[in-house]
Amino acid sequence: MSNDAVLVTGGLGFIGSNLVHRLSGSSEIDIIDNMHTGSPSNIEELKNNKGIRIFNEDAKKAVDHKDRKYGTIYHLGFYSASPMYRKDPQLVSEVISGMISIMESARRNDSSVVFSSTSSIYNGITPPHREDAIPRITDFYTEARIACERLGQLYNDLYGINVSAMRFFSVYGKHEASKDGYANLATQFLWSMKKNESPVIYGDGTQRRDFIYADDVVDALIKASGYRGYDAFNVGTGKNFSLNELVDLLNRMLGKNVKPKYIEMPVKNYVHETLADTAKSEKKLGFRARVTLEEGLRLINEYYK
C-alpha cells in the first residue's frame, strides 16, 4: 500500500478536478464522485494515467476503500449550493453521513483531512469575515457545513486526526461547465454576456462577493494538507466586488455593453456580502491568493472559448 496516495472525493467536479490535475504525476489518486455535478470530461487529459482510479459512488463509501493507505483525504464531494438543500433538506443528513465515513477512513489510515466548508457560514455577519465569528442560523446548506466542521474538530479531539476546514469564498475557474446553473456567478455572467444575453441579478446588484480563482484554491488545499491539528481557514482574496462591478469588468474585457436584468430578490436569508479576513490563512498556512479578478476573468474567457 502506498503512503503517498491521496483520496479526492468530488474529484470529477469543479474544484476537485482542478486539484486532481495539480496532483497528477506526483501521487496515486483515488477519486470518488457520484456525478451529481461532476463529469469525467473534467479530467479527460488524464484518462491514461494509471495512477488514477475513479469510483462512481458517494462519499459515504469512502470507509470501504481499504487497499490504499491515504496520506491525505481531500473531501470536496459535497452538495455544493444552497438551492440544492432548499429543494431537498434531507441532503443535510447525506452530507453528515459522508463526513463521518471520511473521518472513519482517516482514523483507520491516520490520514490528514482537508475538506470544503463555506463562507456562507458568515451570512449576516459584518465583514471582513474572521474564522472566530459565531455563525447565525440561516439555512440548511450552512448548517450541514457547520456540523461537518464540528465533526472534524471532534475527531481531532478524540483521535488526533489532522483536519482543516477550508471556508471557500466565491470560487470560479476552469471545469465549471458540468455545474451548469450552479456555476459561479462570474462564470455564468461570462457565458451569458459572450452570447450578448443579459446576466440575471437578484436585487440591485450592490451585493458583493470575494471572488477567488480555482488555482488559488488548489494552492490553499495543498498547503493545508500539511497542517497539524484542527482549524478552519478562510480561502478568499481579501477583496470584494459588487455584481454591478463584475458586469462592468466583463463588458470592458469583452468590448461589449451588455446590460444586466434585475429581478426581485426571491431568496430569504440571501448572503449580501462576503469578504475574507485572510490573516489567519497567511500566518498558519502561508497561503495568499495570487490571481486578481481581472486576470481570472481573462483566464476563464480564454478557457471557455
Number of domains in the chain: 2
**Whether residues 165 and 177 fall in one domain:** no
Backbone angles phi, psi at 201, to 5 degrees: -120, 125
Give the closest residue to 70 by CA, choosing from 29, 111, 18, 39: 111
Distance from C-alpha of 103 to C-alpha of 234, rounded to nearest angstrom: 21
Distance from C-alpha of 297 to C-alpha of 250, rounded to nearest angstrom: 7
Residue 121: C-alpha distances to residues 42, 117, 291 (Å): 28, 8, 24
**Whether residues 44 and 122 fall in one domain:** yes
**Whether residues 135 and 261 fall in one domain:** no
How confident is the model over 238-288, as pLDDT tens digits?
A: 999 999 999 999 999 999 999 999 999 888 778 899 999 999 999 999 999
Distance from C-alpha of 54 to C-alpha of 74, rounded to nearest angstrom: 14
Tell me the whole-structure pTM to 2 decimals: 0.96
**Whether residues 86 and 177 fall in one domain:** no
Task: Tell me how far apart the terminal alpha carbons of the chain are, to the nearest angstrom.
Answer: 42
Distance from C-alpha of 52 to C-alpha of 107, rounded to nearest angstrom: 23
* pLDDT of 1: 37
Specify which residues 235 forms β-bridges with: 168
Quick check: helix, strand or coil at residue 188?
Answer: helix
C-alpha cell at 76: 470536496
**Whether residues 197 and 220 fall in one domain:** no
**Boundaries of domain holding 68:** 5-171+213-237+280-289
Q: What are the start-end ranges of the H helices in 114-228?
A: 140-159, 185-194, 214-224
How confident is the model over 99-152, as pLDDT tens digits?
A: 999 999 999 999 999 999 999 999 999 999 999 999 999 999 999 999 999 999
Distance from C-alpha of 216 to C-alpha of 212, rounded to nearest angstrom: 7
Q: What are the start-end ranges of the H helices in 24-90?
A: 82-87
- pLDDT grade for 3, boundaries at 50, 70 and 90: low
CATH number at residue 204: 3.90.25.10
**Whether residues 117 and 218 fall in one domain:** yes
**Whether residues 125 and 181 fall in one domain:** no
Specify which residues 234 forms β-bridges with: 167
Residues 74 and 81 sit within 8 Å (Cβ to Cβ): no
Backbone angles phi, psi at 73, to 5 degrees: -110, 120
